[in-house]
Amino acid sequence: MSTQHPETLALHAGWRADPATTSVAVPIYQTTAYQFESPEHAADLFGLKALGNIYTRIMNPTTDVLEKRVAALEGGVAALALSSGQSASAFAVQNLARAGDNIVSATGIYGGTWNLFANTLKDQGIEVRFVDAADPEAFARATDDRTRAYYAETLPNPALRVFPIAEVAAIGRSLGIPLIMDNTAAPLLVRPFDHGAAVVMHSLTKYFGGHGTSMGGIVIDGGNFDWEAHAARQPAMNTPDPSYHGAVWSQAAKPLGPIAYILKMRVTLLRDLGAAISPFNAFQILQGIETVALRMRAHCENAEAVVRFLSGHKAVARVIHPSTATGLEAERVAKYLARGRGAMIGIELAGGKEAGLAFIKALKMFYHVANIGDARSLAIHPATTTHSQLDVADQAASGVTPGYVRLCIGIEHIDDIIADLDQALAGL
């Protein structure tokens, strides 16, 4: 594994000038197919005896650089880029769990992932058992013989309580169950593999892309989970796959490295379901990644300044941000978010729903959007938008009160960010 720092990896990992043209920038290889060297070469590629390009639904040279770069930044061994964060979440689970199986997920997850888990995966026969991550042992209690994975987000909104990665990963490992972490909200701030996670996924649409232009997702294999040692627990990795001449993935991948999980995903789920990222989007996201370290630093510094400004404001009843955590929660923040405490902030406005809506209307520079991780500052009122399908009790259980506003602090000058918040709060 590289010892280079994230700032360096973000510019160099996975690429050193185009072998064909010497181009320094990663070219957009906008092609669907690749010329085989010979019939034998073609047969070797299809038989996984050699690795190489076959067809862009399954691999592409531009996307390959993106995969290597994000794998390096997360400290994983290999990655698979996909068309969106949603396809990354779906594939991460479907790669292990089949009809009749279950996974255990934290309740604190993005609404789109919640829908995927509670409805679509359920329709496919995969049960998702939701538990409150405040008690890591809840994952063990929800586990049975058919539990194939644990799933959680590093820093889920609206509550913004950092997930106890090491604690739950250790429980999982003792039972042969890998922890899948959605690290979308905290790239470069925390590396879940360092704390025992086995799989990491991101919506690349957010901080990695960074400019709100391109959809993408990625799943990264930590290469740190012994699938073979848990044959009964992980049948998808340890029984013959009829779709690939009876390959047993935990063994078939061995000559290529500890990449069984991600290799299986590429050559089965991506082949069959086709959620490929376009080479152009891979290029755009690579551009974003070149500056992700600088941006994350600016996002986090600006967010800390906004927390200080909001904390004393009379229109604000409560500020929710990892920097305001206390007790055990504060210990977890110190352990996991030493490199930065994130750019999302929840504010509880004293005037409830009316104040929330008036505040959103009054913002001039902040964009009112259902997105996070843009370089621009963003705001949304979850009770009337992202969480409006939930009744008031369920909203409250998820941490959304009528006066809750979610801010995602951008990288504009801090004085301009505070000036916009100040004038919008002044009218309440």
Query: Of 40-48, 64-72, 105-113, 280-288, which part binds ligand PLP (CB under 6 A)?
Result: 105-113
Give dist(CA 54, CA 60) in Å, integer: 9
Residue nearest to ligand PLP (CB): 85
324 contacts ligand PLP (rule: CB under 6 A): no
Binding to ligand PLP by CB under 6 A, coded x per residue (else -) over 141-160, reads ------------x-------
Residue choice 84, 94, 284, 395 for contact with ligand PLP (CB under 6 A): 84
**In the β-sheet with 199-203, what is the strand arrangement from edge to edge?**
78-82, 217-221, 199-203, 179-182, 147-153, 102-106, 127-131
Rounded Cα–Cα distance for residues 148 and 211 (Å): 35
State which of residues 64, 127, 167, 182 lies at the interface with ligand PLP (CB under 6 A).
182
Asked if 203 touches ligand PLP (CB under 6 A), the answer is yes
Edge-to-edge strands, sheet with 344-349:
316-320, 344-349, 404-408, 378-380, 367-368
Residue 161, helix vs strand vs coil: coil
Instruction: Report which DSSP code applies to 118.
Output: I
Residue 129 backbone dihedrals phi, psi, to 5 degrees: -100, 120
Residue 60, CA distances (Å) to 214, 281, 282 in order: 17, 12, 10
Beta carbon of residue 113, minimum distance to ligand PLP (angstroms, whole number) = 6
Q: Does 86 bind ligand PLP (CB under 6 A)?
A: yes
Distance CA(44)–CA(47), nearest Å, equals 5
**Alpha carbon 418 to chain centroid, angstroms:** 29
User: CA quadruple 107, 109, 114, 116: dihedral positive or negative?
Assistant: negative
Candidate ranges 177-185, 188-196, 250-258, 387-395; the one touching ligand PLP (CB under 6 A): 177-185
Cβ closest to ligand PLP, residue 205 vs residue 234: 205
Q: Which stretch binds ligand PLP (CB under 6 A): 66-74, 79-87, 222-230, 243-251?
A: 79-87
Site for ligand PLP in 354-383 (CB under 6 A): 372
- The number of residues that bind ligand PLP (CB under 6 A) is 16
Choose one: 35-43, 60-68, 180-188, 357-365; the region binding ligand PLP (CB under 6 A).
180-188
Q: Which of residues 205-244 bind ligand PLP (CB under 6 A)?
A: 205, 215, 217
Contacts with ligand PLP by CB under 6 A lie at 84-86, 89, 110, 112-113, 153, 182, 184-185, 203, 205, 215, 217, 372
